[in-house]
Amino acid sequence: MSEASVRPVAVVTGGSRGIGRAVAAELARTHQVVATYRTRLDSAERLREETGALIFPCDLASGADRAALVEFTRKKLGRIDLLVNNAGMGPAERRDILEAKEESFDALIAANLKGPYFLTQLVARWMLERGAGRIVFVTSVSAYAASVNRGEYCLSKAGLSMAAALYAARLAPHGIPVFEIRPGIVRTDMIAKVEKAYDERIAGGLLPQARMGEPEDVAKVVRAIVDGLLDYCAGQVLDVDGGFHLRTL
């Protein structure tokens, strides 16, 4: 039997580490958070201990897992006020697109695009029943910046950017704003192997704001969204990238 949460409820996918962890920790100040994880139970349990978040194992590529997540939240908390589609993965190894493998392509499209697309479908239907909610898609500058050694990642993020636009157009008339947050180079374990190279490029002028992003930079933008400061900005793309998107001469 479901029991509606007294606090607003936020579901954060991939909430056990990196950007998702920072977002979950920020939201836990005001929300009951449900944070998903796929493999890192240890990190998820630390998040639960530190913030009081509920944790739930979920492979977003699995329709059964997506349905189980929504059902868990419905039964446990009775509502979803915010969905943050954050979970994503990079390729196991970076390969030139002339050498890329179909297996990697299939895995990234399933996890990074199909998963959040159809999870949002489930959550959006519920939000329409309740007549309220907000949805965030965390994409990447890789939605438009070509990296020829990880083409499948770029394609998954470009597709996710369009998914955000589609849901924004569909749900805005019903008072459910949808946003895309587009992080740039952010210090997480996803870039650990190339962090030094990025630091050198940033020092060489890659970013107008000459520092690497931190997960908390993204969490602050999510805070602005949940506080209602951007509710008349449905479909807005919010670049959290130190100015990487700027074109200068």
Domain boundaries, the chain: 9-240
Q: Which helix (H) or strand (E) holds 239?
A: strand 237-240
Orientation of helix 115-130 relative to helix 151-171, angle to 10°: 10
> Can you give the pTM of this predicted structure?
0.94
How far apart CA 199 and CA 210 sit, in angstroms, is: 9
Q: What is the CATH number of domain 9-240?
A: 3.40.50.720
Over the stretch 59-106, which tens digit does the pLDDT of each residue have?
999 999 999 999 999 999 999 999 999 999 999 999 999 999 999 999
pLDDT per position as a tens digit, 169-205: 999 999 999 999 999 999 988 888 888 999 999 999 9
Q: With the C-alpha atoms ordered 164, 165, 167, 173, is the resulting torsion angle positive or negative?
A: positive
Residues with active-site annotation: 153
pLDDT value at residue 189: 82
Q: Which pairing describes strands 54-57 and 32-37: parallel, antiparallel, or unpaired?
A: parallel
